[in-house]
Amino acid sequence: MATAWASPLASDRALDHYYREYQQELCRYAVSKFGLSYSEAEDLVQEAFARMAPQLRVGDIEHVRAFLYRSVHNATIDALRKGQVRESYAQTVQDDPDREQDSRSPERVAVGRQVLGLVSRALWNMPHKRRRLLLMNRVDGLSYAEIARREGLSATVVKKHVAKALAGCQEALRAHDGEV
């Protein structure tokens, strides 16, 4: 049975209680399961509690400890994926020193600005919800499931919106292919 809190103050006290009760346990879990440093684990546990706060206020969490473990697990996976992307990019730049210099040429800058303008117009011409879901996925790095949970949608609906948004951006680029 979900816990229903009478007021935001009560939910803040509950959140504080859960934080004191589970914070160290969750940090140890993240360190042992994923090989993180303790400070990295603390950041991810803090993120898990931030994710939990809105749901605690409306009493949506039935098994708080399990929810926190899942949130820490998901936040860690997201962070590790972002780290892999950064490392991959850094390795690519390191392997091709000409790439960085070439990317700053006036022609590349002009083309980049033109492409950015096309994508920006395509984004602003699409429905607000679709644009927001795309940005949450591609800019914020959230998974379809995480977006679905935050927005109260199914992961399938989120995936379809993101796919349509990407198709819209690609279409805008194709339509102006001769100019870019």
Spans of all domains in the chain: 1-96, 105-180
Pick the CATH number of 1-96 from 1.10.8, 3.30.1050, 3.30.930, 1.10.1740: 1.10.1740
Q: What average pLDDT does this structure show over 16-42? A: 92
| Structure confidence by residue, pLDDT tens digits, 73-97 | 998 998 888 888 888 877 877 776 5
Query: On the CB side of 21, how many CA atoms lie within 13 Å of its CA?
Result: 10
User: What is the band of 7 on the pLDDT scale with cuts at 50, 70, 90?
Assistant: low
User: What is the band of 49 on the pLDDT scale with cuts at 50, 70, 90?
Assistant: confident
Percent helix, percent strand, percent coil in the chain, to nearest 5: 80, 0, 20
Q: What local confidence, expressed as pLDDT, does residue 59 receive?
A: 65
What topology does CATH give the domain 105-180? Arc Repressor Mutant, subunit A (1.10.10)
Q: Is the pLDDT of residue 52 over 90?
A: no
| Structure confidence by residue, pLDDT tens digits, 121-167 | 888 998 999 999 998 998 888 899 999 999 999 999 999 999 999 99
Q: Is 35 helix (H, G, I), strand (E, B) or coil?
A: coil
Q: What local confidence, expressed as pLDDT, does residue 6 receive?
A: 44
What kind and span of H or E run contains 98?
A: helix 97-102
107-110 CB contacts, 8 Å cutoff, 24+ apart:
none
Q: Does the global pTM surpass 0.85?
A: no
